[in-house]
Amino acid sequence: MTGPNLHLDPTFGCTFISILFSTLFYGVTCAQVLYYAWEYRGDKWYTRLLVTALWLLDTATVILTINILWGYVIQSHADVPGLLVIRNPALAEYSLASVIILLVQSCYMSTIWRLVRFTTCAIREAVSNRKWYRVPMAITMHPDSIPATLQTICAASTDAYITISLTLLLRGERTGFIQILPVIQTIVFLSLPKDQMVWAIFHYPGSKIYVNSLLAMINARHTIMQNKQKDAKASALNQGSVPLVRYKATT
């Protein structure tokens, strides 16, 4: 005699797939941390602290996601009402994922701020000295500049910063709507599809993608600087080379 078919594929099947991809991304995180520990042994202390904190937070989220899977698959085995309970590890994972995203976004915003501040200072200096030809040289040869491939990430980080800032600013102005806030939350909750958890596929690997993107940017510094030095040497050789004069061979 077979049991009832609960059709768990659109719900906990999505959760299982999400946790699987999350664990795979965590392996990439560990590989990047090992590369950083070997390649950047003499790095600044706050950068090492940042990488360590990201790795510890990422490890904690992986432990919590595995605990979530253990609770639903093992502890709630043959307990259908237990599948409807949101467990404490899930709440803790949500909190840690938010902390990771906030930390990564803050690092990106700090990088953007340094780049914008340097560009503004360079333009002001060029305007005050009336020497416009110094602007492109100062901007292109600055060691803190980032490649164009990271512009998309920086733009997304800026959008998130604006969204968070507006949310925090407008949060203090909601006193007149405090009575209808529970109604809005109830409507949003009821509008979510109860028989599908497709969103979970993107949730659990999300914090891992954030961590890997920041670690990739940190680990790419030596490669970027080496490429810049090669380009600078090639440019210097092209500008300072003596023109060759071809002599016609006489017989």
Q: What is the mean pLDDT of the chain?
A: 72
Q: What are the residue ranges spanned by the domains of the chain?
A: 9-169+196-224
Q: Is the pLDDT of residue 249 over 60?
A: no
pLDDT level of residue 242 (50, 70, 90 thresholds)? very low
Q: What is the distance of C-alpha 22 from the center of its chain? A: 14
| Residue 38 token pair | 């070997």
Could you read off the pLDDT of 35-58 as tens digits, one per residue?
Answer: 999 999 888 999 999 999 999 999
pTM of the model: 0.62
User: Phi/psi class of residue 170: alpha, beta or left (left: φ > 0; alpha: ψ in -120 to 50)?
Assistant: alpha
Q: What is the CA radius of gyration of the chain?
A: 26
Q: Is the pLDDT of residue 76 over 70?
A: no
Question: Following CA atoms 190, 101, 87, 168 in sequence, which dihedral angle do they give, to the nearest 10 degrees?
Answer: -50
Range in 98-102, 155-159, 241-245 the model is least confident about: 241-245
Nearest to 86 by CA among 15, 180, 164: 15
Identity of the amino acid at 139: I
Of 64 and 238, which is predicted with more confidence? 64
Could you read off the pLDDT of 173-220 as tens digits, one per residue?
Answer: 555 545 555 655 555 555 555 556 677 778 888 889 999 999 998 998
Other CB atoms within a 10 A radius of the CB of residue 106 amount to 13
Could you read off the pLDDT of 7-17 as tens digits, one per residue?
Answer: 666 667 778 88
